[in-house]
A and B are shown apart, each in its own frame.
Chain A
Amino acid sequence: ETGVTQTPRHLVMGMTNKKSLKCEQHLGHNAMYWYKQSAKKPLELMFVYNFKEQTENNSVPSRFSPECPNSSHLFLHLHTLQPEDSALYLCASSPNRGTDTQYFGPGTRLTVL
């Protein structure tokens, strides 16, 4: 069972579309993360937010734009993506930033045509 939810679970979009991924956690955690999981590749950390402030941007292209309006919600805004951006996007939260145990959401499977 997970206290981290993500919507949508599946998304297909064209390269010119704009869409957003949503993550919500009900665990009272202060830190939230976006990861990209591609086939046959390690989990790639994209962004980290701690107390609503972005603390890490792991050299992610600007076509990915995160937003954290409060400690419970995290968004990933997508625009003009490329086919190689197709992947599973996972959201996670932890009590605090760093290496506390992370609780993952089920992910959004994104396909860019």
Chain B
Amino acid sequence: QQPVQSPQAVILREGEDAVINCSSSKALYSVHWYRQKHGEAPVFLMILLKGGEQKGHEKISASFNEKKQQSSLYLTASQLSYSGTYFCGTESNNAGNMLTFGGGTRLMVKP
């Protein structure tokens, strides 16, 4: 069962903030976030392990709430370079399972 991402698409002005959510019907062990720009390969952003940790990379951070079985990606003071499609990949247990990817959230940042 793949995770559900919301919203499916979002349009921002440069400098605005956005939140992308990833929810699963299964208990999660880890969540991975990737960004894919049009015509390019998906690029790894960060991984969060259970324990409710938060991580950040410049002005992009994420949280993982294992009780709610969801993760959120926070984009602060968005830049034009943030445009792309964001995917979450989830691992439902620590048994070497494959990642299951969500449907993606298309983010467009306008000047």
Contact = CB atoms under 8 A, between A and B. Distances in A.
B12 interface: no
A49 interface: no
A98 B101 contact: no
B6 interface: no
Interface residues of B, number: 24
Given A40-B103, A42-B103, A98 B41 contact: no
B101 A43 contact: yes
B92 to A, nearest CB: 10
Nearest to A106: B41
A42 B5 CA distance: 10
A6 to B, nearest CB: 9
Nearest to A97: B96
B101 A99 contact: no
Secondary structure class of chain B's binding surface, majority of residues: loop
B27 interface: no
A16 B103 CA distance: 31
Contact of B97 (A40, A41, A99, A106): A99
Given A99-B32, A101-B44, A101-B47, 10 more contacts: A2-B41, A45-B98, A48-B98, A90-B42, A97-B96, A99-B29, A99-B97, A99-B99, A102-B44, A106-B39
17 contacts: A4-B41, A41-B103, A42-B104, A90-B41, A90-B42, A97-B96, A98-B91, A98-B96, A98-B98, A99-B89, A99-B91, A102-B32, A102-B44, A102-B99, A104-B43, A106-B40, A107-B41
Interface of B: 2, 29-30, 32, 34, 39-44, 47, 87, 89, 91, 96-104
